[in-house]
Chain A
């Protein structure tokens, strides 16, 4: 079997609060193999957001190890993590998070700026991906000119622009109506069919049902981990 994209061993994270140390994540083990499509579920406060922040290299764990594409990133420096986020990961957020003053093309190309690509290759890559998500004709528009669903497509294009090993999507349909949500989930399905690994956080079972595997969090621990269609 191929090397896992993600291998998490005994991962824990505690936060200092007024009432003392609060363990948000209590020793989690998980493996994600290339081409997998996983939905992470759980109520708020279950630790799934903390887990996503750790997977996304936005935060470092208190204990445990996290191997991203074979490399232990648990104790890396901030700038090294930034490079990982840039080269290895693609983010899709609930609030789309496009930069309002930039054209869609520039938004999609932004990760390439930090990767140091030249202007011509940035433009070419951005146009190709905007075409792929069906928004090529809006390349020079500003984000506020298009609908929420379209903005999320642009955000997905941006996540793909650096050819990442893994797409992390945090409630990607949370701000969208059910019809548009279906469209976005169909796009994720297509991307996965092309072999892209996707980890998705959601609290909606309908959305989670699009994934191939569902992992449930409760009180900072994984309480179930099964393929879609099977019961826990």
Chain B
């Protein structure tokens, strides 16, 4: 019986092809828009998540405080209020998985006839763990290198390309500030960070070497920045609190005195960016679903016209024994079929456009089965919801009136 009704619904749809196609178009555009928006939104979210994961997770930094000389304020990390011992003390706290004091700046690198300006980071071996940074070629330096201030360097991919070209940089000697450094490892690629800066344009050297040979420091052992990694996102606030109280205690700050250091939550910035894209894609999805709603109203409109046009047919069907639910099913099936066909076309159109956007603009799009599933569920719901009223109207016609209808 359902099979017979399906083929009847198919016939009815085919009887007025242009009208059916136009009605379907509403659904096609609606579903297509939802699919495209979800693909772009999820793509943006994916791109942000990728960036976050290259930065390292659950990170925050402690910067040394500012100072004021004759009314001129230095900005953060101007005063030498943090030292390596602070870092060691932080490492003892609960919930801290890695601590890396760092000192960084931009310096000119020279190798043979090539030179290149790059970011130089002086730090401890924990830095690589905190940022989940691996070494693809060669090896890293150890604590002994930091203790004895050896002149070894790890270089990023961009530095390797610009300075060494096709040569294998391992074991080669390059100069930073006239000081020779032996390249012992090449870092894995991390790409851009959230600011768009190339994270691979980096040289990493032992902290002590950096302070003594490259940057210089007013007080040996002081650091401008300590990177801290908490063992989980939930522990972040607690760890930040305990670092604050530890440092205040170590720096002998009394109640009421301001902190002589700053703290920045790196992950929070990235997460807020992710949140923004998520909100954006929800918003876009909401706008797209409005067009689905409009498509649904189009279906309802055409079904009402169809019921009026076919009043006599409904009367005949009732006279030869169609029950109310038979008529209801028939018209509901038609609405759902239009809705589903529109949804299928919309899905294909949306996928084609999303892939086109990806191919022509390079924008990341993520096509997920869940988006397709959502679109189909919505189409079925729209078909049944907007088909229900016209179908019920048809089913409740009086057979005598319907038969008399011209």
Query: Which residues on B are within 8 Å of A, measured CB to CB?
Result: 1, 3-5, 11-12, 15, 312-313, 316-326, 399-400, 403
Contact = CB atoms under 8 A, between A and B. Distances in A.
A53 B400 contact: yes
Given A56-B319, A86-B320, A110-B320, 15 more contacts: A58-B319, A58-B399, A58-B403, A79-B324, A82-B321, A82-B323, A85-B320, A86-B321, A86-B322, A97-B403, A110-B317, A113-B4, A113-B5, A114-B326, A119-B3
Given A53-B400, A59-B400, A99 B321 contact: no
Contact of A101 (B12, B321, B400): B12
A145 interface: no
Q: Which DSSP category, helix, strand, loop or mixed, fits chain B's interface?
A: helix
A97 B320 CA distance: 11
A111 interface: yes
* A interface SS class: helix
Interface residues of A, number: 26
Contacts of A58: 318-319, 399-400, 403
A143 to B, nearest CB: 12
B320 to A, nearest CB: 5
A158 interface: yes
Interface in A108-127: 110-111, 113-116, 119
B321 A115 contact: yes
The 4 closest A-B pairs by CB, nearest first: A86-B321, A82-B323, A114-B321, A79-B323
Contact of A114 (B12, B320, B399): B320
Interface in A88-103: 91, 93, 97, 99, 101-102
B3 A83 contact: no
Contacts of B313: 99
A78 B5 CA distance: 21
Contacts of A216: none
Contacts of A158: 320
B11 A101 contact: yes
A98 B11 CA distance: 15
A114 B326 CA distance: 8
B325 A79 contact: yes
B298 to A, nearest CB: 23
B355 to A, nearest CB: 39
Interface in A158-210: 158, 162
Contacts of B403: 58, 93, 97
